[in-house]
Structure 1
């Protein structure tokens, strides 16, 4: 329950609605409680005594109570829904913002599937619980207590029946409510597994088809889906026992009331109307307990969801601003001093004692075998990850001293995997600078050699990209990702193997555009191709997480064995390398 109380701050803006809703429900319940007593008087004082004016007057009173109850019930539903929906929307918004600021390690800790469940299923569970709490939980206890009080006052001869029925119902409800929390926690964990499997399969659908592994993936999904099904069935079956059990107990109470009433009517110590009213109140007591139990079960189901949500909201991002960070403009000097980093702190570092310096305007090429740590180096510059040892400096200051917004606003980053959003081409490119003019957009597209294919679309820059950019080729996606980095005109430009799917002619044009348009930017070009980095001012050669060579292309050709081996494996036209 502590987790639910931790979320109470999201209720504060809607406390007026949250107060009005129960008050309206009290009105509805009060009207419901009055009606059996009115019916008792109609039978005993009207029909039994053939007093039709009295009967008509009581019927009018019943109609008035029904109308008042309608107003109360409708008002409760309206205000309860407003409270619960806004409450859930605010939590969902905060969850999304929190996840957005997570570092990669934070996301890996929770997994994408679980985060999707948090922001959808878990929030929905809380919304339903709050709606039921405001609408039904007031109704249940108020009906339960009110019915018992009225029975004690008006049908005291039958009151001993309640002393047996009510404890049995209360104990049953407590037991099943406690059990439901454990059962539905397992259900939510199974939902996590389903979401994770779906997310992985949709993201890798092309690989699945290419390797003809659809049947295998379906079998894997079937496994997690069946686990979810079995846990849902198990939970619903056990909880489903509660309703027939309580109905049985109440029916036994009704039989006892009729049995006792038959004797007391014969002795003229009780009237027929009292027995009918007692049966109605007994049904109300059962309804009150059942509705209360449904709310308690919903709350029990919501508690695990609340815990999971609070766990995400309270997760501290590993990468955050220090107190009073620097916001001075960045010129672009970058220096690594004995930097080491490991994705898993228990494993061997993927970067070991990395040291180099890049001056403003220089081009730094980074090359090495797969897994040597090339991409990791450039991801440390915008603080996608935090170095475990050593210091990374920009313009002579540790990057931790810079405000994150200032740091990242000064970097144009085209990652190894070109990620585009389901928006127009213009919106995707302007994602790098939403204040860019149309001329700057065209310039960025031209610099990345993207303009040539964009102009072929009927709607040109307004061409809509599908989810996952499935309506673009790999090379087209890479060129748009570069355009997004170019439009920032950043102090530091990072291109992480962004021309792997680009033809050599287009790559040469992109290199010329970078050389001409980004003379003052510090450029980091990660590539597995010598042709992409041979003109760099300095080339870093990586092997197994360490820098094994630094220098120009010519210097490394003469002195560095690893670089020589890379060159020798890359066959190009016209000799060793294309000019």
Structure 2
């Protein structure tokens, strides 16, 4: 319950007030449902047994009205819970997505994308049910269940006492089964996370995978993972069905006990036939709350791994450090690394050790070096996605950790090696963008479709570069292999446009192309000890 209470606090809604509003109608519905069967004994004993047609009509109409009220209260409480549930889902997903947008690079190294998507989708939906109908229904089912037991004790002490013993046994069995459900759900959740991550990776890269991996091996790998996941799912389904079977067994034994003891009481004239009928109906109604209570208990156990994962994500400490400094106007573009040491994990060799480097504003720097020499890490440090273990990074003589992250993202432009162009997010209306696309020999395109459908690798890179170079709000530009996917003729045009567009701007260009290095004012070679002494002029 502590984890559930902690999660409620993240929603910032009047949960108890909203829950009470829903429970009022749920309680009314429960009371009406509890009273409803008693009309049968009144109709039989007061109407049928005495031959009174007026009593039969009167109490039948009363039973009909109670049925209508049951339907109305059930409808209202269902709508209220639906609204509360969707609001909880919306708030939790918004909070988590906002958190994800601020996570640093280390977080994404330690977490699978498939797991994160499962948390946002499956886990939140499961928690929604727990925080709305399941908890309140559990409370009211306890009251309803207890009420039926009390009625049975009043009708016949022996029957009520025996049913109470069966209830105690039912609770013990459900508690034991609940531990199995919780353990099974944790195992299933782990397999689903792996399966979703691998599936997304394969589908996202399918055109490239088709060129590299044999189709048979790929299909066999997918089918094997799918089978393992489904086997865990089937096992968990068995665990959940065992809870229902316990409820069924309880219902069968209860009806058997009432018929045996109640029938004997009728023969001894201790109770009437109408009361026996009512007892049978009440015992049959015991099944629903009995099974519901078992399912409530198992559902909470089932949801505990989900609640823990959501809480862990919301409390994640691997965040991009940020402050509130937002200078007026533009950045000049001076960048200084002072005694910067950085490693991705403890007890590993640092990528940089006491790095000292000064990049002057308004110059274009080419960055070269073999794979694994720290070029991408260098860029992540400037972006604030990674923070130094020691030392400081300055932009315009201000420590980077003192800047507002949103401000830096607005004033520093990035071109990734694999361009990121979001569907429907890039309307090509900007005049400078259109002009740039004409230089790059791009066709007319207004909006991008999913996965940049219809664009080649070179076209995607050209389009992303056109967007970036036409964005006049940027003061610092970072380009990662801007011509890696284009032909030599296009490369010449791109180099010319980069040189013109970045005149007077600070730019860092990761490249292995000689043509790109020619437009750079200076080059930083990461194969050597990176320092200002080794920055050579072109």
TM-score by length of 1: 0.87
Pick closer, same or farther for the CA change 1:544–1:304 going to 2, 3 Å. Answer: farther
**Residues 473-521 of structure 1: per-residue CA shift (max 9 Å, x gap):** 1111111221232233322111111111122332222222233332220
Q: Does the CA contact (< 8 Å) of 1:18 and 1:134 recur in 2?
A: no
Q: CA separation in 1, counterparts of 2:46 and 2:12?
A: 49
SS in 1 for 2:340: strand
Q: Does the CA contact (< 8 Å) of 1:330 and 1:407 recur in 2?
A: no
The residue aligned with 1:574 is none
Query: 5+ residue gaps in structure 1?
Result: 428-436, 554-579
Pick closer, same or farther for the CA change 1:79–1:318 going to 2, 3 Å. Answer: closer
Q: Does the CA contact (< 8 Å) of 1:132 and 1:295 recur in 2?
A: no
Q: Does the CA contact (< 8 Å) of 2:483 and 2:494 recur in 1?
A: no
The answer to whether 1:468 aligns with 2:451 is yes
**Superposed counterparts of 1:237-276, under 5 Å:** 237-276=238-277
The residue aligned with 2:430 is 438
Residue 535 of structure 2: which of 550, 556, 559 is its match? 550
The residue aligned with 1:50 is 51
The residue aligned with 2:386 is 385
**Superposed counterparts of 1:143-222, under 5 Å:** 143-156=144-157, 158-222=159-223
SS in 1 for 2:320: coil
SS in 2 for 1:551: strand
Q: Does the CA contact (< 8 Å) of 1:363 and 1:525 recur in 2?
A: yes
The residue aligned with 2:419 is 418
Q: Does the CA contact (< 8 Å) of 2:247 and 2:290 recur in 1?
A: no
Q: CA separation in 2, counterparts of 1:371 and 1:139?
A: 61
The residue aligned with 1:509 is 493
Q: CA separation in 1, counterparts of 2:426 and 2:248?
A: 62
Q: CA deviation at 1:228?
A: 1.8
Could you tell which deviates more after superposition, 474-483 or 160-169?
160-169
SS in 1 for 2:512: coil
Q: CA deviation at 1:336?
A: 2.1
Could you tell which deviates more after superposition, 349-358 or 90-99?
349-358
SS in 2 for 1:339: strand
Query: 5+ residue gaps in structure 2?
Result: none
The residue aligned with 1:433 is none
SS in 2 for 1:543: coil
The residue aligned with 1:479 is 462
Residue 505 of structure 2: which of 507, 514, 521 is its match? 521
**Superposed counterparts of 1:523-542, under 5 Å:** 523-542=507-526
The residue aligned with 1:572 is none
Q: CA deviation at 1:6?
A: 1.2
Q: CA deviation at 1:43?
A: 1.5
Could you tell which deviates more after superposition, 5-14 or 73-82?
5-14
TM-score by length of 2: 0.93
Q: Does the CA contact (< 8 Å) of 2:41 and 2:277 recur in 1?
A: yes
**Superposed counterparts of 1:262-301, under 5 Å:** 262-301=263-302
Q: Does the CA contact (< 8 Å) of 1:352 and 1:546 recur in 2?
A: no
SS in 2 for 1:235: helix
SS in 2 for 1:381: helix
Q: CA separation in 2, counterparts of 1:228 and 1:308?
A: 19
**Residues 98-155 of structure 1: per-residue CA shift (max 9 Å, x gap):** 1111112112222211111110111111122234326632441232022122222333
The residue aligned with 2:8 is 8
Pick closer, same or farther for the CA change 1:401–1:158 going to 2, 3 Å. Answer: closer
Q: CA separation in 1, counterparts of 2:71 and 2:295?
A: 22
**Residues 448-495 of structure 1: per-residue CA shift (max 9 Å, x gap):** x44x21xx33xx3x1x32322242111111112212322333221111
The residue aligned with 1:333 is 334
Pick closer, same or farther for the CA change 1:544–1:248 going to 2, 3 Å. Answer: farther
Q: Does the CA contact (< 8 Å) of 1:114 and 1:195 recur in 2?
A: yes
Q: Does the CA contact (< 8 Å) of 1:94 and 1:313 recur in 2?
A: yes
Pick closer, same or farther for the CA change 1:400–1:424 going to 2, 3 Å. Answer: closer
Q: Does the CA contact (< 8 Å) of 2:244 and 2:294 recur in 1?
A: no
Q: How many residues align?
A: 534
Q: CA separation in 2, counterparts of 1:233 and 1:36?
A: 38
Q: CA separation in 2, counterparts of 1:327 and 1:345?
A: 35
Pick closer, same or farther for the CA change 1:336–1:263 going to 2, 3 Å. Answer: closer
SS in 2 for 1:7: helix
